Structure 1
Amino acid sequence: MASIQNTTLHEFADFLTWLEQLKETANEYWLKPIADGKWSLREILTHIMFWDKNSLEVMVPHMKEGAQLFFADIEKHNTEAAELAQSYTILDVLIQDTIRMRRQLLELLNEQFDGTTKFTIDNSNYTYKKFVHVFIHHDEHHRKQIEAFLEQQSA
């Protein structure tokens, strides 16, 4: 992957290091729901990967000046991700697939990212930076959930 000069994209790429660390700590617990009625780590990681795939294939290629884009139907998209999660039987494979998808997305963003392009998503104004920050916060939300769960399991 090309060097990432942009600080927003660098922050988005930081998630990759954390994913690598999960291989060491989560194997014993990755199929267990993080709380009653919640997803397991397998489903959460697949969910993140599935949103990266949507960004890579549907969103980012169309982020041009004045474009009018729409996020996927969240409930349907999340259900499809949870269904896909069931196909993963080895944590390392899921983590590697998630890393690969994020790297592909980062490469595309690194090629296209600029500070001036403006477009709309669901009738709200966006820039590349705002779009990426949505997913940085999304990553952080799930990272905190997973870390709290793993801490609880080790206590």
Structure 2
Amino acid sequence: MPKNNDILNFQAFIPWVSTLKQLDTEVWTKPMSEGKWSISEMVSHIMNWDNHILTHILPFVRLGKEISFPNIDTYNRKAAVYAKSGITQSALIEEVIRTREKLVAQLVEMPDVLYNAQLNYSLAFLIEEFVVHDNVHKEQIMQFINKCNLE
């Protein structure tokens, strides 16, 4: 898939996450099922990975270095803790939007040769994978919201 399509798909998360501002706080913070994350934790999780791309992956790609990832479980727990830290629903959503906008802007500016560079992973591959990741979580959130609306 061409770079512009990847970025447009990645950017499409922004208007969708904005719609979550309308959610009742109880739905926003309620675990989606026993022992699972709430919508707020899942949204924080997505933002946390956007931050990792911004602060670690893009600088490594610019230097031609292999891309690295933190311990996934630890990193995901950090996002859940942040969602429960007292940050308001609207503040978290605005932070998610600003983070994604910053990431999209940097991806747009990334030269194609770096975007497609074959390190251990290419940025092109990772962005496609993160679009899929976003969509999986969006679907989980939408199913939960629909379930809450039926109750």
Identity, in percent, stands at 32
Uncovered stretches (5+) of structure 1, i.e. residues with no partner:
121-125
Work out whether 1:136 is the aligned partner of 2:142: no
Q: CA deviation at 1:70?
A: 1.4
Q: Which residue of 1 aligns with 2:9?
A: 11
Larger mean CA deviation between 26-35 and 48-57 belongs to 26-35
Whether the aligned pair in 1 keeps the contact of 2:28 and 2:40 (CA below 8 Å) is: yes
Whether the aligned pair in 2 keeps the contact of 1:64 and 1:117 (CA below 8 Å) is: no
Q: Which residue of 1 aligns with 2:147?
A: 152
Matched residue count: 146
Uncovered stretches (5+) of structure 2, i.e. residues with no partner:
none
Structure 1 residues 53-64: aligned runs within 5 Å: 53-64=51-62
Deviating runs (4+, > 4 A) in structure 1?
A: none
Q: Which residue of 2 aligns with 1:50?
A: 48
Work out whether 1:118 is the aligned partner of 2:118: yes
TM-score, normalisation: structure 2: 0.89
The structure that is strand-richer by fraction is 1
Q: CA deviation at 1:20?
A: 1.0
Whether the aligned pair in 1 keeps the contact of 2:40 and 2:83 (CA below 8 Å) is: yes
* 1:151 partner letter: N
Q: CA deviation at 1:127?
A: 2.0
TM-score, normalisation: structure 1: 0.87
Q: CA deviation at 1:27?
A: 3.8
Q: Which residue of 1 aligns with 2:22?
A: 24
The structure that is helix-richer by fraction is 2
* 2:91 partner letter: V
After superposition, give the CA deviation of every residue in 1:80-138 in whole Å (9 maximum; x if it has no partner). 11111112442111100000111111111111151542111xxxxx2222110111011
Structure 1 residues 86-105: aligned runs within 5 Å: 86-105=84-103
Work out whether 1:106 is the aligned partner of 2:104: yes
